[in-house]
Amino acid sequence: MTDFARRSLGWLFAISSIAFGFSLIYGPEIGLLVLCGQLLLWLGFHLHHIGLLLRWLERPAPGRIPEGYGIWHNAFMALYRQARKQKQSKRKLASILDRFINAGEAMPDGVVVLDEYDRIEWVNPVGVEHFGLDPKADVGNQILNLVRQPSFHTYMAAQSYSQPLILHSPTPDERVLSIQLVPFDITRKLLLSRDITQLERVQTVHRDFVANVSHELRTPLTVVGGFLETLSDMPEVDDATLRQFLALMLEQSRRMQSLVEDLLTLSRIENSPRSMQQETVNMDQLLDTLMVEAEGLSQGRHQITLDNRCRRWLRGNVQELHSAFGNLVSNAVRYTPEGGSITLAWQEQDEGRAVFSVSDTGIGIPREHLPRLTERFYRVDRGRSRGNGGTGLGLAIVKHVLARHQARLEVHSEPDKGSCFSVIFNAEQLAARE
């Protein structure tokens, strides 16, 4: 039996006892009137407190619990404690929800919460960006009405939870997204999206790289193999034919050797630690070496000059810098017709910077090709590049070496007028002349 029931029975017993006492003293009529009066008072007392309770229930608040008397005081106090617990629970749940929302909004992946009818309940900022949604207007709409790509509709209809879908984002920036549907409730689902554009680009570059290496090696191997097969089928070979074949095979072998050496150089630079051990690079000696190499490649076919007007040297890796500068010099020699001029320059600039440049009066490069020059195996003219002995990796090596030396490459070129490749070093990479 509850405390309220016990107290109510106690009050009824007290009222009955008083009425019975009055009936013994003043007669049964007076006793009945006293009983009715006491019951009416007792009923009014409870109705008053019930009215207070109903008014509070219309606008419940822990701070506005009504004052009660007797058993109602205990009831209102219990209600007050319960309301406070409920308020604390709601505050705790709100805090947890806020942390969940903040965590979802901070995620680097897109998150869209869908109900059982695939309507959007919530979406984080990355999801808005990936799917091109409006965070206010699109909440409550079906995701299928907003993302209209057929592959996405097929994926959602299949309700496939195991494998992601590769989807090109509907936004204008041509992103590649990996999308996966994850159920997390009886009816709700999470639609997760991850930007894999960079990964796709790396894989494309890797595939192109393997294909280009195979293509570059296949041609000289085919030539050498063809000559060897021809020689093996000939019963007798005269000296002139043998010398001609051997010269051509030697040329193709050297071409393969150059390609392998450039691949090894590029691999070594890419796999080297970022923080390399720097040394003072004697630019006077390096420039003299580059001049000798340029004259050796030119064989007197070009006018080659050196302009050394910088009194500063460099800090860096002399082997890597020699490789990068040497590639620029050899390109100038290869792509400058006989009788042209080539200038190697080491000069000071404003703000304490220094520039190494190679200028030529060669065939030049069309403007649309300039942004892609440092890509591996990228050629402006494939046939002409191979004929000049290039491997297609020289400028890729230059790009990686300059990145390790906090330098940048600038290219200015006009077709049939010539080119100028400039390597700009910041003041931090310069050293005093010893």
pTM: 0.52
Comparing 265 with 195, which gets the higher pLDDT?
195
- For the chain, residues classed under CATH 1.10.287.130 are 201-271
Residues 231, 236: Cα–Cα separation, whole Å: 9
> 201-271 maps to which CATH number?
1.10.287.130
- For the chain, residues classed under CATH 3.30.565.10 are 279-432
CB neighbours of 214 closer than 8 A, spacing ≥ 6? none
Comparing 15 with 293, which gets the higher pLDDT?
293
Q: What number is the average pLDDT over the span 382-397?
A: 63
Q: What number is the average pLDDT over the span 58-62?
A: 76
- pLDDT at 416 > cutoff 80: yes
> 279-432 maps to which CATH number?
3.30.565.10
Q: What pLDDT band is residue 50 in, cutting at 50, 70 and 90? A: confident
- pLDDT at 308 > cutoff 80: yes
**Sheet hosting strand 189-195, strand order edge to edge:** 120-123, 110-114, 189-195, 176-183, 165-168
Q: Write the pLDDT tens digit of every residue in 371-386.
A: 888 877 776 765 554 5
Beta bridge partner(s), residue 111: 192
pLDDT at 259: 72
> 107-195 maps to which CATH number?
3.30.450.20
User: What six digits make up the tokens of 122?
Assistant: 């919530």
Average pLDDT, the chain: 81
- pLDDT at 424 > cutoff 90: yes
Q: What pLDDT band is residue 346 in, cutting at 50, 70 and 90? A: very high
- pLDDT at 176 > cutoff 70: yes
- For the chain, residues classed under CATH 3.30.450.20 are 107-195
pLDDT at 273: 64
